Amino acid sequence: MPTAFTADQIRGAEHALMARLPEGTLMQRAAAGLAAVCADLLGRVYGRRVVLLVGSGDNGGDALYAGERLARRGARVDAVLAGSRTHEAGLRALLDAGGRVAEASAIGRADLIVDGLVGIGAAGALREPYARLAQEADAARGVVVAVDVPSGVDASTGRVEGPAVRARVTVTMGAYKTGLLVDPGAAFAGDVRLIDIGLGEHLPDPDVAALTARDVRDLIPRPGEESDKYRRGVLGVAAGSDLFTGAAVLAVGGALRGGAGMVRYAGREAPVAQVRARWPEAVVTLLGEPSIEQVGRVQAWVLGPGLGTDDWAHELAARVLATDVPVLIDADGLTLVAADRALLRRAAPVLITPHAGELARLIRADRADIEAARLEHARRAAAELGVTVLLKGSTTVVAEDGRPALVNVTGTPWLATGGTGDVLSGLAGALLAQGLSCYDAASCGAYLHGLAGRLAADGAPLAAADVATAVPAAIRTVTSAGS
């Protein structure tokens, strides 16, 4: 699982390693890796125009030494010096190799633009002239490669305040930075390439990691010879209302496609009819009173999609949360909990699957603040509420107190389509019912959901039901992936 670190953690590791190496070694390793990625992106290096945006710190130094290597291979390399100071040795090396210092107007003519303005030493929004140069790089036709971190992105949190470089590729040194994996920073980083400069054993225990197919493959329950549906996990779904029948249908669909041995749907008249019609294999209980006595034994519950937030829904939520099995709470269930935190007082585990707006109501924070620092707020909610949090977004974050936060990178903007959250709650619920922990069900569910969205979308807007349909293909993709 690729791990990610904050700027301070990286700096600590770099200092520990630098103490053992001759001056400048790390920068040369960084520059060599950066130059190799740039050459790969250029295809042919000779005669190509490369512009380096050079800040006054070591980020600029990396860019200058990479520029030197490209110049020695025949590229026409121009350095635009942004900082009040410049990495002198790096500049000398570039000039010795035939590179030049140029005005910002060179940016518009570049085939490749190397963003060496600021890296992990950045503090706050970009100041002038860095901000203007970042905007000029964005407006230019050339391919943008960010050195270590796209300038304007906070390496530790992914926060972006003001102009920032939007890179096609980010070449990051030593280890992934958290800000490259979570929104909004992830969107500015583009394809992240990691250059090993030997930080390995100097890095602390990770507190953030990115999910990969291999991690998820080991989590997916194998039905094996267990044909007994009861042993493959029975999931209760308390969702839907006369107003919102679709949410119940989608949640049950996500659960069945997610491998639940059986789904027991409990709800009111209108959703009961829809679920029965669409999923005849679901065991359906029509609820008059909001009680679940007649529903029968389940290993986990999904509570909330389209449920409504009236007294009836509140009473049903209380009954479901009074059980001793794990409960996934989504949508209206989260609204009910935000209004009555006492509902969360239970011994069995809870997994919540909010989007930013629902999380804002739950922890009484501002939605914009959550969007700007998703990881921090997901962690805060997990600690404050004592639950596992799956914060939905184009990079979904899974947080649980005392464990590394997990970032899912299979998501796509298409998944913002209405109803896909209902599918996810059913899918993750099915994994809970099959015995996964909240943490594993959230990460495995998010990964499969994102993958299913990609498989279903193939570039066109998709309907939520398509995501549910694509879940088995996503499971096959992951379980058949090579070692």
Ligand X SMILES: NC(=O)C1=CN([C@@H]2O[C@H](COP(=O)(O)OP(=O)(O)OC[C@H]3O[C@@H](n4cnc5c(N)ncnc54)[C@H](O)[C@@H]3O)[C@@H](O)[C@H]2O)[C@H](O)CC1
Residues at the contact surface with K ion, assessed by CB under 5 A: 115, 119, 146-147, 151
Choice between 53 and 173, CB closer to ligand X: 173
Binding residue for ligand X, selected from 5, 13, 55, 422, defined by CB under 6 A: 55
Phi, psi of 60 (to 5 degrees): -65, -35
Whole-angstrom distance, CA of residue 412 vs CA of residue 443 = 16
Of the residues 13, 39, 41, 62, which one makes contact with ligand X according to CB under 6 A = 62
Q: Does 5 bind ligand X (CB under 6 A)?
A: no
Q: Are 4 and 170 in contact (CB under 8 A)?
A: no
| Shortest separation between residue 66's beta carbon and ligand X, angstroms | 10
Q: Which does 115 bind (CB under 5 to 8 A by kind): K ion, ligand X, none?
A: K ion
Among 66, 79, 122, 247, binds ligand X (CB under 6 A): 122
Question: Which tokens hold the place of 17?
Answer: 């390693």
Q: Using the rule CB under 6 A, is 266 a contact of ligand X? A: no
Cα(426)–Cα(240) distance, rounded to whole angstroms? 13
The verdict on whether residue 421 carries a ligand-binding annotation is yes
Asked if residue 189 binds ligand X (CB under 6 A), the reply is no
Q: Which residues pair with 112 in a beta bridge?
A: 50, 143
Should residue 58 be labelled a site residue for ligand X when binding is judged by CB under 6 A? yes
Question: Which of the choices K ion, ligand X, none does residue 26 contact, using the CB cut-off of 5 to 8 A by kind?
Answer: ligand X
Binding mask 15-54 for ligand X (x = CB under 6 A): ---x-------xx--x------------------------
Count Cβ atoms below 10 Å from residue 341 Cβ, excluding itself. 11
Query: What is the length of the chain?
Result: 483
Q: How far is the C-alpha of 4 from the C-alpha of 176, rounded, in Å? A: 5
* DSSP conformational letter for 279: -
Q: How far is the CB of 79 from ligand X (least distance, A)?
A: 15
Eight-class DSSP state of 325: S
- Who's near 444: CB < 8 A, 6+ residues apart? 216, 219, 220, 428, 431, 436
Q: For ligand X, which residue of 120, 189, 209, 238 counts as binding (CB under 6 A)? A: 120
How far, in Å, CA of 5 to CA of 179, rounded?
9
Q: In the numeric block, which tokens belong to residue 97?
A: 């190799």
Q: Among residues 54, 86, 111, 130, which is the contact residue for ligand X, using CB under 6 A?
A: 130
With CB under 6 A as the contact rule, the residue among 173, 186, 399, 405 that binds ligand X is 173
Secondary structure of residue 12 in the 3-state scheme: helix
Residue 300 · residue 275 · CB < 8 Å: no
Interface residues toward ligand X, by CB under 6 A: 14, 18, 26-27, 30, 55-60, 62, 83, 118-127, 130, 147-148, 173, 197
Binding site: residue ranges?
A: 58-62, 115, 119-125, 130, 148, 151, 247, 306, 355, 392-396, 421-422
Q: Binding-site residues for AMP, please?
A: 392-396, 421
